[in-house]
Each structure stands twice: as structure tokens, then as C-alpha cells.
Amino acid sequence: MENTCKITDLICLPDTKLPRVVVVGGGFAGLALVEGLKKRNVQVVLIDKNNFHQFQPLFYQVATSALEPDSIVFPIRKQISGYKNVQFRLAEVVEIEPSRNLLFTNKGKLTYDYLILATGTTTNFFGLENVEKNSLGMKDIRDSLNIRHMMLQNLEQAAITCDDEERDALTNFVIVGGGPAGVEMAGALAEFCRYILPKDYPEYPSSIMKIYLVEAMDELLGAMSDKASEKTLEYLKNLDVEVLLNEAVSDYDGKVVQTKSGKMLLARNLVWTAGVKGQFPKGISKESIVKGNRLKTNGYLQVDGHKNIYAIGDIAALISEATPKGHPQVAQTAIQQGKYLAEMLTDLIDDKPSKQFKYKDKGSLATVGKRRAVADLGKLKFGGYFAWLLWSVVHLMSISGFRNKLLVGFNWVISYFTYEKSNRVIIRNFKQSSHIDSPSDEQFGTLEKSENMQKTKIDA
Amino acid sequence: MENTCKITDLICLPDTKLPRVVVVGGGFAGLALVEGLKKRNVQVVLIDKNNFHQFQPLFYQVATSALEPDSIVFPIRKQISGYKNVQFRLAEVVEIEPSRNLLFTNKGKLTYDYLILATGTTTNFFGLENVEKNSLGMKDIRDSLNIRHMMLQNLEQAAITCDDEERDALTNFVIVGGGPAGVEMAGALAEFCRYILPKDYPEYPSSIMKIYLVEAMDELLGAMSDKASEKTLEYLKNLDVEVLLNEAVSDYDGKVVQTKSGKMLLARNLVWTAGVKGQFPKGISKESIVKGNRLKTNGYLQVDGHKNIYAIGDIAALISEATPKGHPQVAQTAIQQGKYLAEMLTDLIDDKPSKQFKYKDKGSLATVGKRRAVADLGKLKFGGYFAWLLWSVVHLMSISGFRNKLLVGFNWVISYFTYEKSNRVIIRNFKQSSHIDSPSDEQFGTLEKSENMQKTKIDA
């Protein structure tokens, strides 16, 4: 295969005689794997294009100014500090050359004995170019910041314009996708509008901000129980969110959202949570790429057609009779697969046999604004205040780092009693940022961007 | 005068019969003025290109990952909430047309009865284009973030490169300017290097990071007492900062810093704190612009040659026999001038006579890393631990908002005992940001950028 990568210096790494396990991606899956491989007789190289782990389940709270980004991202070097056999390198992976066990990044190349892809997913706009151009996804902490800044900038602009229609457009919000991200975003926005808007913008009636949630299926939270779906719909209606079911967005010019059924929604704020697609470097054999741009693996999470390449987390599609569509793309799958692969690889290197991966569903939770949530725990399905408490505890416990738990807890307690949120400041111009900082779909496809980044650092 | 502004719609404002006082800039001076004018019989319109107030004295702590930006910026709308006669508008002022009492912004125009410029200063590179292109100032919260990201990105790059010289360049730091900003930055960096580097980058010896402080005069903190200057020098030397006095930077290509005396310093990190210059909209009569691009005012802070235009804070140069160079460009001057002008304008509108502005020097403080500071309080000059405690209390008390006091206090207490700092995460690519987000010298000079911002919000 012809390698198109231009930067081919070796990335500097300690020279050990141990087998080298290269892990791409410091998300839930990648970190669980690295954690499991510490103190084992392997050299682990963790590569990520960010120097931090992101706690995706709370992105919507950053987007709505409930939390500051630093409380839900955690430095990878802090996470792995003390792991003597683990090296972190900040680089963007571009391409794999399996025939030579070579990995090319925007910072140079490195060799691997075992390559594990934990590169996750990115927003899928399903080819709706105008929507992609004029709206924001929520798959990266920068997206959350961009949404926050878009919203705050538009609220400020609404105070400046004398045009009533324009003011409505600037204050209206459309969220596409009735999954957990969309539902939680809608709930948080509704509370922002109810409790924050009147304080910060006394010039507006709080009724000025209309919130629409658009879902293509006939229910919200399709992956959860019918009971959860119904309760969620009820909660959102009580928060004055207008939910449109069996409705899909067909076009968006930045001001008017058009739906398949011909509806027109006036809104300059559009957040797209309606789909994701896997992202991974070039060089993987076409045959192993399946629906949703995921990588087909066997029961050992080994990517089809590649001897020493494995996939874990959202991009892994372990297709079996029990799981014809692979496992759900959620944090618990990622963590379980990371832990499993650590054991499996160790056994493999020690020439021991190992079992295939088994997924254990611990249930699902989703929250709708303050004091309301829904829970499916096996047979037990319930909603309301207790579900919300459970949601809060589970999420607080899963956040990396004592400091972050403390910060998030501190903010939640304050906002529980006061509905006050953290500082609503616009530090970046969201539009410029959304183009420059947000991960683009081509991030693994081309090297231009990567080279600029390289240059940036070298010229710095 | 020919007005070059293209956006001429009126900015939407409540129509009152009260005299309209337009305040440009929400820094210490502008906020003190607005505070003083609340409940008075005037309509106050506060305009700022940011929706937040910035606490400049702690920028260096954001730059060195000691604090997160949100703890030292404060939303202006929160600050003025409840002030019935005050309106905030997020806009960038472009030009004044004094003959018609008109103010042009990137969002539209508005009229004023009294115009108060509190637009502060920006970094002055004194025409050194290469230095400006390849280094970062520290006059905006975005600068602080850019410095942090530059430093962290370069430390990561140093782990990747196999070239020893390049690694040295990436880890070395040059700070230009021996005023409070430079001194405090050098001290904080030295501690980062001593206490954080070994934990986050076990691959380096902590000796790898060299810190240079370059000052053109023969002493540090020239504005303070000789005792303070000497103690500061001693403190920095104990922290292994290499201080170069009577030395000026003449050129910088992004890797090698050249000095007037012919020295060459290898460093990819250069922070410029060596000078500031006033920034204000076009339309002010040339005669009233004095050294440092400040506006010459009389004893009532009225700008020379303009009947109803006033200047306060860093851009005001109240030239008198007592103050041939104007007052020091520090927060206490700004706050005193803001408070004074509130009284003066009220008297003026009520046709009452008023006294001229009198500055009361409350003394100066500067800190050099943890547990060390210098203080000049009138005749009382001292340094050490108590000075540092005093510095901490004074700064904590001056930060806007209970939440921010709490956050900063929380971080300081933690780092006091642990030297642990907040999350060292690179959320933005610093170089791109430094061009896009940082205030440029032309921010008042041209409209292109402003129009883009306008567009940004409309296209959102």
C-alpha cells in the first residue's frame, strides 16, 4: 500500500526489549486498557491528539454553562503518572502500514507489535452539507464550548438588533436527535431559559427562548424502555420544550430549519446530536469496515483481516449471533472492552489461552433537567427524583480525579440550591473556533491540518 | 471628519429622556464608573467587546496553569444585574464622530451625551515585527491561555523530538520585561518547573527548563523601591531564574532570541511584558494623543479638545505639574478615576461645581513565586512571607464575585500545600488562537474583523 504520510522521522521513545503495545485514543476504552497494562511486561505507548481525557456524558452541561470545561477533562499525563511502562505522546494518527507494523502521525512514525484503535466516533450529519456548515455537533469539549459561545453571542446580538424576527431567530434553539445527548441538552437549556435568562437578560421575557427537540423515530430515548421514553417526553413537555417526533431535518440555512414534513423552524441555534460515525486512520482493509464506519472484530476484539490490530470502544463492532449490530456505543462497553483486552493481550503474550469478550449491561440512565431522570436497571425501570440522584452519584463517581469530582460536586450543589450556573463568559468566537479547533471528519484522512499543527509547534 | 464605518443601524436601546452616558470598556475603571452611576438620573450604556470583566493581576497564574480562566473573568451582566438604569451591549467600538455625538461599533451606531473611554492598553512591541510575530503578550485572558497552550504544546513536542538542541529550545523560556507582570510570571514558571515538571514529564530532568528574565533597565520593578527591586532579584535567583539586566531584545526568529549586546538565547517560548500602549477608537483629535498612545486630560479627566469626552484608567494621562507623566497605569488609579468621574458627572449634570481628581497612592505589591513577595506601603517597605500573605489577601478581596473568590481561594489553598496546579489541558491550538482571539492593535483601526464577527453571529 502506498503511504502518503510526509512526516517520517521517528517519534522519540525509550528503547526497551519489551513488546510494544500502541494504544490510539485516551477515551474510556483506551484509558481502561492502559490502566490494565501498567506493571505488565509490555511497553505501552498511548497516543492522542489531545493531552486530556474527555468525560463526554457531561458535555451538555459545559454547553449550557453549568460546568467549566476543566472540570470534565482530565490531563492524560496526570492519569498515567507513575506508570513506569507507559509513555504518552501528543500526536494525531494519520495512517497505518500493517505490512510493516508502522503507524504514521503528524509528528512522525513509530512501530508497534500490537496496535489498539480506541479512536471513537465523531458527529454524523448524514451528508446534509448545509446543516453541517451551519450547526454544531457535541462530540468534543470544543463543541460544547462552541455551543455555549454560539448561544451567548446570539443572546447578546438579540439585545442589539431592533428586528423582531431576527431577535426570535437568535433566541430560538433547535436540538436534533432524541437520544440521551439531545434529551439532556434540551432539559438543561429549558432550565437555563427558565432560571438564568431572566436574571442575565431582564430586557427579555423568558418566553422569548423557544426550544425544539426533533426526533426521527416515534419516541425519545429509543434505546431505553418505553416507560423511560414516555416519562422523558412528559418531563420535557413540563419544561416547555416542543418535542417533534417522526420528524427529520432536511435543510438549514443558518436561520430557518426545514423538516421533511415541510415544517419551518426559525432558529439561529442548531445543535446536532442525531448520529455518530467511527473515525480511524487510513490503512485498514476495506472489508472490515461495517455500518456506522465501525470496525468488524471477532470475539477477541481483533479487527477482521489484521493479525495484530484490535479495536475497542465506540468504533469496535463485535458482530456475533448475540450482537448482530455490535455492542451499544456507550462508556460501559468501552471500559469493559479496555479491561478485557488488557487481560487478553497479557495472556496472548504469555501464550496462555483466553476467553472471548462478554458484555455485562449495567443498565442505562438519562436526566432531564434538575431533579428528574429515568433509569432502566435490568427489570427495574423507574423515573423521577431518585433516578436523578442515582444519575448524579454514578456520574460524579465516574469522573477522573479527586479535584474534578470536587469541582463538579461543588457546582452541582450550588446550582441545586440556587440554579446559579458558572461564569457565562465568551472567551472564544465560536464560529472561528468550530472550524479551527473541532475535530473534523478528515482528521485522519489528510495531513494538511496535521502539518500545520506540526509547524505551529515547531515555529512556536 | 469622514466616517469610514459601514454598519450604521442603530443599536437597540430603551428610549429614555435621561442624559445618556456611554462607557466604553468594562475594566476596573469602567466598572467603577458604572457602579457609581447606578440609581443616578442618567441612562448608562456600557459597551465592551467582551461580555466579561478581566482581573489582569492574575493573568500570569492562568498562563502557568495555576488558575482556570473562569475564576478570574466575571460576566459583566452579572456585575450590573439589578442596575435598572444600566444597559450592556457586546460590541467593538470602531470610531467616534464627536461633531454629531455619534459612536460607531461593529454592531451599529449609537448617540451619547457623555462619552467615557476606558479602553485600556494593549501590548507594545515597539515596532519589533519579528518579536511580535513569534512571541505572545499578556494583556488579555486569551493571551494567558495562549501562553499556557504554547508552553504545554512545546513540552509535549520536546518529548517527541530526538533532536537535543530542538528539545532545549522547546523547553526554554524567555520573559521580556522586569515589571510586576514579568517578575510574577518568571516566579510562577520557576515553580512550575520545580514542582510540576518532574511529576508530569518524568522523562526530563527538571533542569531541562531554563528561564530567562530580560530587563532593559538596571533593576527589576523600577516603579518600586530599591529595597523591593533588590529583594525581587534575590528571590528570582534563588528560584534559578537567570536575570539579564541592562539588556534588551533586538530580534527573535521563533527559536533564537537576539539581544542588543549580542547575546543569543535558545528558546521557543517568548513572553513579552515589556511595554503597553493605549488603545481607543478613531476620531480623537491628534493633539490630545500623548506618549504611550494615551489621551491627555485636564484635572476633570476631560480629554483635551473634546467637550463631552472623558478618559479614565490606563489610557488617561492627567498631565499636571504634580504628574508630568500622568498617573501610574495600575488598577487603583483606574478604580479611583472611575469613582471620581461618577461623582463629577452627577455634579456636572446637576450644575454643581466639583473638585479636580486627586490620586491616593495606596502602595504597591508584587509576588515572586510562593511565599515570597515585596511591598511598598508609603514609608513602610518590606518583603518575604508576610508581604506574600498581604498580596494574597488584597488580590483575593479584589476579585469580582463570591464564586470566583471561592474558586481562587480553593485553588490557592490546594496549591499552597501541594504545589499541585489546576488541569494542564490544551483545549486550543495556541498559535491559531493567538491570531484569531487575541485583541490586535488594529482592533479599533479597521472594520474587517468586526464585520466578520458580525457575520459570525448572523450566520450562526
Nearest CA in chain A to B407: A407
| Cβ neighbours of A283 (radius 10 Å) | 21
Q: What would the pLDDT profile of A62-94 be if each residue is shown by its tens digit? A: 999 888 888 899 999 989 988 999 999 999 999
Angstrom distance (rounded) from CA B152 to CA B163: 18
Of the candidates A12, A160, A425, the beta carbon closest to that of B108 is on A160
Q: What pLDDT score was predicted for residue A228? A: 95
Q: Do B20-123+277-362 and B129-270 share a fold?
A: yes
Identify any residues that bridge with A45 across adjacent strands, giving them in sequence order.
A22, A87
Which pTM does this prediction carry?
A: 0.89
Q: A25: Cβ–Cβ under 8 A, 6 or more apart, which residues? A: A47, A48, A117, A118, A119, A120, A313
Q: What pLDDT score was predicted for residue B422? A: 58
Pairwise CB contact (< 8 Å): B51 & A426: yes
Pairwise CB contact (< 8 Å): A89 & B159: yes
Angle at which helix B180-191 crosses helix B226-238, to 10 degrees, equals 20
Angstrom distance (rounded) from CA B175 to CA B215: 9
Smallest CA–CA distance, residue A236 to chain B, in Å, is 25
**Test mutation, A8, A51, A54, chain B, max B CBs within 10 A:** A51
Smallest CA–CA distance, residue A427 to chain B, in Å, is 7
Q: How confident is the model at residue B413 (pLDDT cuts 50, 70, 90)?
A: confident
Q: What pLDDT score was predicted for residue A456? A: 28
Q: A147: Cβ–Cβ under 8 A, 6 or more apart, which residues? A: A63, A136, A138, A271, A430
Say what the ipTM of the complex is. 0.86
Q: Considering only CA atoms, which of B188, B16, B9, B19 is closest in space to residue B104?
A: B9
CATH fold of the domain at A20-123+277-362: FAD/NAD(P)-binding domain (3.50.50)
Pairwise CB contact (< 8 Å): A74 & B423: yes
Q: How confident is the model at residue B404 (pLDDT cuts 50, 70, 90)?
A: confident
Q: What would the pLDDT profile of B221-250 be if each residue is shown by its tens digit? A: 999 999 999 999 999 999 999 999 999 999
Of A226 and B413, which is predicted with more confidence? A226
Q: What pLDDT score was predicted for residue A7? A: 66
Pairwise CB contact (< 8 Å): B160 & A78: no
Pairwise CB contact (< 8 Å): B423 & A430: no
| Edge-to-edge order in the sheet of strand B380-384 | B364-367, B373-377, B380-384
Identify any residues that bridge with B73 across adjacent strands, giving them in sequence order.
B54
Q: How far from the centroid of its chain's Cα atoms is residue A180's Cα? A: 12
List chain A residues with pLDDT less than 70. 1-8, 418-423, 428-460
Pairwise CB contact (< 8 Å): A427 & B437: yes
Q: Which three cell numbers stand for residue A279?
A: 473515525
Smallest CA–CA distance, residue A74 to chain B, in Å, is 7
Segment among A271-275, B44-48, B452-456 with least mean pLDDT: B452-456
Q: What is the CATH number of domain A129-270?
A: 3.50.50.60
Q: What pLDDT score was predicted for residue A70? A: 85
Pairwise CB contact (< 8 Å): A460 & B268: yes
Q: What pLDDT score was predicted for residue B71? A: 85
Of B189 and A402, which is predicted with more confidence? B189
Smallest CA–CA distance, residue B115 to chain A, in Å, is 19
Angstrom distance (rounded) from CA B106 to CA A290: 49
Domain ranges of chain A: 20-123+277-362, 129-270
Pairwise CB contact (< 8 Å): B77 & A268: no
Segment among A298-307, B317-326, B409-418 with least mean pLDDT: B409-418
Q: Which residues on chain B are in Cβ contact (under 8 Å) with A10? A: 162
Counting every residue written for chain A, the total comes to 460
Q: Which three cell numbers stand for residue B174?
A: 524567555
Identify any residues that bridge with B108 across adjacent strands, giving them in sequence order.
B105
| For range B215-219, the mean pLDDT | 97
Instruction: Please say whether the beta carbons of A101 and A55 come within 8 A.
Output: no
Residue with cell 469613582: B339
Angstrom distance (rounded) from CA B5 to CA B9: 11
Q: What pLDDT score was predicted for residue A447? A: 24
Pairwise CB contact (< 8 Å): B160 & A268: no
Q: What pLDDT score was predicted for residue B411? A: 77
Instruction: Please say whether the beta carbons of B122 and B442 come within 8 A.
Output: no
Smallest CA–CA distance, residue A194 to chain B, in Å, is 16
Q: What pLDDT score was predicted for residue A6? A: 60
Q: Which three cell numbers stand for residue B426?
A: 490544551
Q: Quick one: what percent of chain B has pLDDT higher than 70?
A: 90
Q: How confident is the model at residue B7 (pLDDT cuts 50, 70, 90)?
A: low
Q: What would the pLDDT profile of A373-408 be if each residue is shown by its tens digit? A: 999 999 999 999 999 889 998 898 888 877 788 878
Residue with cell 514609608: B379
Q: What pLDDT score was predicted for residue B452? A: 28
Of the candidates B51, B74, B202, the beta carbon closest to that of A156 is on B51
Smallest CA–CA distance, residue B189 to chain A, in Å, is 18
Q: B368: Cβ–Cβ under 8 A, 6 or more apart, which residues? A: B183, B184, B186, B187, B232, B235, B236, B239, B374
Of the candidates A199, A426, A437, the beta carbon closest to that of B50 is on A426
Nearest CA in chain A to B150: A460
Pairwise CB contact (< 8 Å): B160 & A459: no
Pairwise CB contact (< 8 Å): A154 & B414: no
Q: Which three cell numbers stand for residue B23?
A: 462607557
- Phi, psi of B298, rounded to the nearest 5 degrees: -85, -170
Instruction: Please say whether the beta carbons of B70 and B81 come within 8 A.
Output: no
Strands A43-48 and B289-290: what pairing? unpaired
Of A356 and B449, which is predicted with more confidence? A356
Does residue B136 have a pLDDT over 60?
yes
Q: Which residues on chain B are in Cβ contact (under 8 Å) with A133? A: none
Q: What pLDDT score was predicted for residue A165? A: 94
CA distances from A386 to A371, A374, A394, B159 (A): 8, 9, 12, 48
Pairwise CB contact (< 8 Å): B431 & A460: yes
**Test mutation, B425, B429, B438, B459, chain A, max A CBs within 10 A:** B425
Q: How confident is the model at residue B414 (pLDDT cuts 50, 70, 90)?
A: confident
Of B425 and A154, which is predicted with more confidence? A154
Pairwise CB contact (< 8 Å): B458 & A157: yes
Identify any residues that bridge with B104 across adjacent strands, giving them in sequence order.
B95, B109
Q: What pLDDT score was predicted for residue B329? A: 95
Q: How confident is the model at residue B370 (pLDDT cuts 50, 70, 90)?
A: confident
Q: What pLDDT score was predicted for residue B437? A: 32
Q: Considering only CA atoms, which of A333, A281, A287 is closest in space to residue A306?
A: A287
Q: Which three cell numbers stand for residue B291?
A: 506618549
Q: Which residues on chain A are in Cβ contact (under 8 Å) with B134? A: 459-460
Residue with cell 520573559: B175
Q: What pLDDT score was predicted for residue A262? A: 96
Of the candidates B70, B268, B459, the beta carbon closest to that of A431 is on B459
Q: Which residues on chain A are in Cβ contact (under 8 Å) with B420? A: 403
Q: What would the pLDDT profile of B256-283 be if each residue is shown by its tens digit? A: 999 999 999 999 999 999 999 999 999 9
Q: What pLDDT score was predicted for residue A455? A: 27
Smallest CA–CA distance, residue A331 to chain B, in Å, is 22
Nearest CA in chain A to B161: A12
Q: Considering only CA atoms, which of A306, B107, A379, A441 is closest in space to residue A297?
A: A306
Q: What pLDDT score was predicted for residue B361? A: 92
Of the candidates A73, A269, A436, the beta carbon closest to that of B432 is on A436
| For range B95-116, the mean pLDDT | 97
